Structures are given as C-alpha cells and as structure tokens.
Amino acid sequence: QTVVTQEPSLTVSPGGTVTLTCASSTGAVTSSYYPNWFQQKPGQAPRALIYSTSNKHSWTPARFSGSLLGGKAALTLSGVQPEDEAEYYCLLYYGGAHWVFGGGTKLTVL
Amino acid sequence: DVQLVESGGALVQPGRSLRLSCTASGFTFGDYAMNWVRQAPGKGLEWVGFIRSKGYGGTTEYAASVKDRFTISRDDSKSIAYLQMNTLKTEDTAVYYCSRMAVAGMRVDYWGQGSLVTVSS
C-alpha cells in the first residue's frame, strides 16, 4: 500500500518562511506524480493552491510556491500571514488515475 | 462562477445504499474529469475515485477501500456526477467532496462544500 508522508505539524512566525514536504513510500517524487497542494481551514472544504508541482491557480497568493526538493514535493510559504494557519495536504498521482493524499501538515502561525 | 454542490448525504444503516450527487455550474461539465474525496471526522483527506470526461473514455478508477462497493457515474446533459455507495460500512462515515479535474496538467481546482454521510445503526 502506497503511503504519502507529510510533517504532522510545523510552526512558523508571522513574516517567516516555512517549507512543507511530501514524500512517497515508492521512492523519489518527480514531476510525473503531478503534485497538487491544498489548504483546508476548520469547517471548510479544501482549497486548491498548486498543481503539477509548481503551477499556481489564479487565486493562489504569490507567497505560496511549489517545487521538488530532495526527492520530495515541497510547498514553501514566504512571508507567512496569520491567515495561513491551516491544514495543508499534498496529493500525488500514481498512474492509472490513482491518487493518494498525504496525511496533512497542521501549520501553526505563532 | 464555477460551483460544485454535493447533495444526498444522510444517516444510513450499515449494509444499506446511498447515492450522492454533485451538481456543477459555471463551466462546460463534459470537458472535465470529476473526483470524489472523503474526510472522516477529525481525519485527513482520502481519494475515493474519479470519472474521466467522455473525451477520455468516461471511465472510472477507485481506491482499493471502496472498489466493488462504490460506483461513480456522470450525466453530462444535467451537469451532475454521482457517487453510488453500496454495502455501506461504519468506516465510510465521512464528509464527501466532489472536485473538478483537468487532465491537462492533472489540475484539481474547484471543490464542493461537502455532504455528510453517517453510517450507523
């Protein structure tokens, strides 16, 4: 069974920079996994941030960026705002249209 | 504006069936694949399955946890995607979301607000 692993929790200060990662139990994450990233706040539906590794949606704030880093997919927030406090999920594509979510990272802005 | 609205969630007994609907507006529904994703109470997101657009064969794929019990279909004339859930188990209790996906770039973008399914006796 494929497992996608994210940091369970991270804390960042307002204005700071933080990188969230997304690792696959099958090996290095590449662009062929088409990493997507989502933000979810309590009681709300997920909101899409990044697709296909590093592409932003029209509504994605400029401070969010996606990349590949050390064999993982990564989401970097630069100049963190208090409203960025949320759960973040990555989603990887494993072929045959099978997708697997990571367990999520709870980001605290403190 | 793109909108996805799930409906059909309910309290249902184990072993029974339920069908959820995802009604889309604001875009050409037939041009997009549609995903179903669920979230058990206090847990993370779980991909359930997806249906391709007719242009890509209209075929479906499912997570192992629901394969052979759940069926996804679509009615492009009504802009609705369906999730038929059979032989429901208590562990199927979750908020069920539909989301839109463009195959080009494997872009998952818009999500519905979710529909709660509770499986309990």
The per-residue pLDDT of chain A, averaged, comes to 96
Residues of B in contact with A6 (CB under 8 A): none
Record: contact A89-B44, CB cut-off 8 A: yes
Phi, psi dihedral angles at B78 (to 5 degrees): -110, -5
Q: Which of A1, A36, A104 sits opposite B108 (nearest CB)?
A: A36
What pLDDT sits at residue A20? 98
Nearest CA in chain A to B113: A45
Instruction: Render A52-89 in DSSP notation, one character per residue.
Output: TTTEEPTTS-TTEEEEEETTEEEEEEES--GGG-EEEE
What pLDDT sits at residue B104? 80
Residue A102 at interface with chain B, using a CB cutoff of 8 Å? yes
Amino acid at B1: D
In contact, A46 and A39? CB cutoff 8 Å: yes
Q: Is the dihedral of CA A30, B38, B25, A62 positive or negative?
A: negative
Interface test with chain B among A44, A99, A100, A105, by most B beta carbons within 10 Å:
A99
User: pLDDT digits over A37-60, tens only?
Assistant: 999 999 999 999 999 999 999 999
Residues of B in contact with A102 (CB under 8 A): 44
What pLDDT sits at residue B103? 81
Residue B2 CA, distance from chain mean position: 17
Record: contact A45-B111, CB cut-off 8 A: yes
Beta-bridge mates of residue A100: A92
Record: contact B111-A46, CB cut-off 8 A: yes
Q: Which of the four pLDDT bands, split at 50, 70 and 90, describes residue A97? A: low
Q: Which of A45, A52, A93 sits opposite B112 (nearest CB)?
A: A45
The per-residue pLDDT of chain B, averaged, comes to 96
Task: Give CA–CA dist A90/A99, Å, rounded.
Answer: 10
Q: Would you write out chain B's pLDDT as a tens digit for each of its 121 residues? A: 999 999 999 999 999 999 999 999 999 999 999 999 999 999 999 999 999 999 999 999 999 999 999 999 999 999 999 999 999 999 999 999 999 999 887 899 999 999 999 999 9
